[in-house]
Chain A
Amino acid sequence: DAKTTQPPSMDCAEGRAANLPCNHSTISGNEYVYWYRQIHSQGPQYIIHGLKNNETNEMASLIITEDRKSSTLILPHATLRDTAVYYCIVRAASSFGNEKLTFGTGTRLTIIP
């Protein structure tokens, strides 16, 4: 799986949009970008994933650049409960589904009241 690079930490004011960048310059054509977060020591929580088109769900939006070498996770109206470590993970698509996730150190996002 391709390696990802994320800033170690970011702050965001409560109510503002949080924009978390991720670089994945060696991503392959069949690799998806996944975002998970980990609140305190809880289990990682799935947020969103995409291949090349921008995606939006009830939690967040994912913007992937046209060359797919980077992406941005957007939390549109951050709340204190969004304080967590956010992981950007690139994973190959497969109908077998047995590819493990490789976690990096992620971005520690702190929402400021």
Chain B
Amino acid sequence: EPEVTQTPSHQVTQMGQEVILRCVPISNHLYFYWYRQILGQKVEFLVSFYNNEISEKSEIFDDQFSVERPDGSNFTLKIRSTKLEDSAMYFCASISPGYPPAYYTFGSGTRLTVV
């Protein structure tokens, strides 16, 4: 079964540093997402991306976050200046629209630890 691949699986970074989390969505999917889950909390939506632009973003997704699809296969989340509270699991997901409604496929996540 096709998978969404995320790298790295773990990332430790110092506060204030920039990090890039990478995802390879399923090849024929058209919509891409980032979600995050702070330890012990709910899975939260960050941003959705379609046709090379952001289609929706949450209030969490402020100016320190950005996404891009640089080469038609990778989908990246950049955090410009990390804060301690950015420590979380970050999940990438993709979906192909249509009827009947499809389902999201999630990657296994990147555990980001900011120290």
Contacts and interface: CB of A to CB of B under 8 A. Distances in A.
A32 B104 CA distance: 13
B42 A100 contact: no
A91 B37 CA distance: 20
Q: For chain B, what secondary structure do more than half of its interface residues adopt (helix, strand, loop), or is it mixed? A: strand
A9 to B, nearest CB: 14
B34 to A, nearest CB: 10
Given A46-B103, A98-B56, A41 B111 contact: yes
B95 A97 contact: yes
Contact of B48 (A43, A87, A95, A100): A100
Contacts of B99: 93, 95
Contact of A95 (B43, B56, B95, B98): B98
A49 B33 contact: no
Contacts of B106: 43-45
Contact of A91 (B44, B48, B97, B101): B101
11 contacts: A38-B43, A43-B107, A43-B108, A44-B43, A44-B104, A93-B99, A98-B50, A100-B33, A100-B48, A101-B45, A105-B42
